[in-house]
Amino acid sequence: MKRRLAYKQAEKEATARLVAEGKKTTKNIGYLRRRKENLEFRISTEAYTLDAERELIRKKSKIDEELNEAIQSYRMRRKAEFVEGDIAELTKGLEESSKSLEGIEKSLDSLYGELRKLNGERMRRSVEHRDRERKKQEAPKPVEVSLADIAIIKDRKNGNKEAKEGAVQ
């Protein structure tokens, strides 16, 4: 959009120069057309001498040139108006785009803030989880077992109930 705006502004400058040159020929197009049609009608319907008819043809060609210049001038003025309209439209579009972009940036900033907050909680949870896993992986504290306890366990396996009772006493 910015490129199109720059292009339109350059085009506006160029057409402004041409319009300034064309303002010299600000004759009325309708008047020139009527005059041309009248001369054409006179040439085709009336009988003139050769010199008089040549003079009318010269006048007609002169009017044609003036009419073409007037038409080009009019077209340049219209083009300049259209270019100015396009520039106004493009600047309005750019302003709207920049406003919507600002809104989007604000929403993105809030979303990034929430994401950082969530990542912070996730990191805290992962650290806690890692600590729990380390505690699980650590070797359990050894239980002290005496030789007497081992003897009682063996006797129980062998089915000797007396060993159990004797150890308890």
Q: What is the pLDDT of residues 44-95, one digit of tens each?
A: 888 888 898 899 999 999 999 988 888 888 888 888 888 888 888 888 988 8
> Does residue 6 form part of some domain?
yes
pTM above 0.75, yes or no: no
pLDDT of residue 2: 74
pLDDT of residue 161: 60
Give the chain's domain count.
1
Structural domain range at position 99 = 2-137
pLDDT of residue 38: 92
> Does residue 86 form part of some domain?
yes
How do residues 3-38 score in pLDDT, each as one tens digit? 877 877 787 777 777 777 666 556 688 888 999 999
Kindly report the length of the chain.
169
DSSP per residue over the chain, as a string? Answer: -HHHHHHHHHHHHHHHHHHHHHGGG---HHHHHHHHHHHHHHHHHS---HHHHHHHHHHHHHHHHHHHHHHHHHHHHHHHHHHHHHHHHHHHHHHHHHHHHHHHHHHHHHHHHHHHHHHHHHHHHHHHHHHHHHHHHSPPPPPP--HHHHHHHHHHHHT-HHHHHHHH-
Residue 168: band (very low, low, confident or very high) from pLDDT cuts 50, 70, 90: very low
Report whether pLDDT(167) > 60.
no
